Amino acid sequence: MHTMSIVELAAGLHQGEFSSEELTRSLLARIKNLDPQLNSLVTLAEEQAIDQARNADQRLAGGDATTLTGIPVIQKDIFCTQGVKTSCGSRMLDNFISPYDATVVEKLNQAGSVMLGKANMDEFAMGSSNETSFYGPVKNPWNPETVPGGSSGGSAAAVAARFAPFATGTDTGGSIRQPTALCGITGLKPTYGRVSRYGMIAFASSLDQAGPMTRSAEDAAIVLGAMAGFDVRDSTSIDKPVPDYRANLNDDIRGLRVGLPKQYFTEGLDSGVGDRIADAIDVYKKLGVEFVDIDLPNTHLAVPVYYVVAPAECSSNLSRFDGVRFGYRCENPKDLEDLYKRSRGEGFGAEVQRRIMIGTYALSAGYYDAYYLKSQQIRRLIRDDFVRAFEKVDVIMSPTSPTVAFKLGEKTADPVSMYLSDIDTIAVNLAGLPGMSIPAGFAHDLPVGLQIIGNYFDEARLLNVAHMYQLETDWHNRIPAGFE
């Protein structure tokens, strides 16, 4: 059962071939057996999962089931889950049990999905390798000596290892797409505002966006349909109807115009990765797609701008973790200042502290104009680059990451080289556009991801383009050795 897609599992459940409880128990057993190798989950919600599965079985029997009823999911530990620990990968929240569900969790619960547990992640989603987690690094199922990417590394590894047919992720600068690529799965970061951020622990509010991590575009279409939608509790969510993302999956893409931005095919691109992207372009050409070279002239500014905007917002967002009301509190504080300093100094890891300091500096009097304000201006230029490009093309394609998965520890001592691993994904967040990553083969025996970037609210087209590729290839069905 663990190799079946959401579509196949839903058919099995609806036809009574197996129950959700059977499915849930078998996946829980699989996780207990295999996850010690990967460390992709931080919390297993066994009892709750069995309860949810039984309820799903009743719904299935009663006939009011959705496609996701009875389908297991692993939630990234950034989403608040009532009654189940929500750590955000941090010592700071190692003791935090949320009194409420995030909107994404609530929606998936309402659809009847079964939460098996919570996925490991970079601390507060700050990282590109899942090595900043308080709970230790996650290993890439394709090669346990390499990282799964980050920050949604636990979600990506778990889906690749067939622990669940889908997981949730969040993407601030590539945190869905980059691990998706490095673990050989399918993931989608929606348009900013498409999915509610309520209950998703904020890293950088103007960039954060949740999305599905699945094995196929078809499954992603199903999950996105359940996650998306306006939420009165999130003022930045957009009041726009959610289309049926499956409706156009099989649309002919002949004549589709695809832009290839030259800035994404430079010397920093690993040649093995470049070859696989070229292969994918060939597949699309056979499908009648037209490729156009495009220019996104401000691309080189995306990483520096991101590393002002995201830390600035995070320095403020993470102020609430002060040891006063919830979360980690230091032992025997001498006074208020000591309480703050030690609770935050001991509760946050090094990368989180680094970003809080960068952000605090960028917002300081005398520096605000030069850093934060300037970054917001450049951000507009980056967005304008895309707006102009989409006047000429329907979607944009590029590698998701310039390299395949790198070795554990390889970049931890050099933050800048780590930051550059998101060079292909960050501009999309700054512009607020939807972006996808789908598996496009292997280089150096590790998965390569193809990134497809769409215009605002054009998720249905991204899914269609991805699905047509997946009808022609089987990269998305490849399973890492040892997890068959």
Partner 1 sequence: MEWETVIGLEIHTQLATKSKIFSGASTAYGAAANTQACAVDLGLPGVLPVLNSEAVRMAVKFGLAVGAHIAPRSVFARKNYFYPDLPKGYQISQYELPVVEKGTVSIELEDGTGKIIGVTRAHLEEDAGKSLHEDFHGMTGIDLNRAGTPLLEIVSEPDMRSAVEAVAYMKKIHTLVRYLEISDGNMQEGSFRCDANVSIRPAGETKLGTRTELKNINSFRFVERAINYEVERQIDVLESGGKVVQETRLYDANKNETRPMRSKEEAMDYRYFPDPDLLPVEILPDDIDAIRTSLPELPDARRDRFLKDYGLSTYDAGVLTASREMADYFEAVVNASGEAKLVANWVTGDLSGFLNKDNREVSDSPVSADMLAGMIQRIKDNTISGKIAKEVFEAMWNGEGSADDIIEKRGLKQITDTGAIETEIDRVIAENPQQVEQFRAGKEKLLGFFVGQVMKATQGKANPAQLNELLKKKLSG
Of 225 and 359, the one with the shorter C-beta distance to partner 1 is 359
Minimum distance of partner 1 from residue 363's CB (angstroms): 4
Among 37, 55, 248, 316, binds partner 1 (CB under 8 A): 316
Among 93, 181, 210, 296, binds partner 1 (CB under 8 A): 93
Of 7 and 330, the one with the shorter C-beta distance to partner 1 is 330
State yes or no: is 271 an active-site residue.
no
Among 233, 262, 285, 300, binds partner 1 (CB under 8 A): 233
Pick the catalytic residue from 151, 152, 196, 437.
151
Pick the catalytic residue from 19, 20, 40, 76.
76
Binding to partner 1 by residue 314, rule CB under 8 A? no
Q: 445: closest CA among 405, 476, 411?
A: 405
Among 31, 70, 79, 153, binds partner 1 (CB under 8 A): 79
Binding to partner 1 by residue 340, rule CB under 8 A? yes
Binding mask 199-228 for partner 1 (x = CB under 8 A): xxxx-xxx----------------------
State yes or no: is 374 an active-site residue.
no
8 A C-beta contact, residue 136 and residue 39:
yes
Binding to partner 1 by residue 119, rule CB under 8 A? no
Minimum distance of partner 1 from residue 320's CB (angstroms): 4
Binding to partner 1 by residue 234, rule CB under 8 A? yes
Among 29, 232, 350, 381, binds partner 1 (CB under 8 A): 232
Binding to partner 1 by residue 357, rule CB under 8 A? no
Minimum distance of partner 1 from residue 54's CB (angstroms): 28
State yes or no: is 196 an active-site residue.
no
Task: Give the footprint of partner 1 on this chain (CB under 8 A).
Answer: 79-80, 86, 88, 93, 96, 98-100, 102, 197-202, 204-206, 232-236, 312-313, 315-316, 318-322, 324-327, 336, 340, 360, 363-365, 368, 372
Q: Looking at the annotation, which residues are catalytic?
A: 76, 151, 175
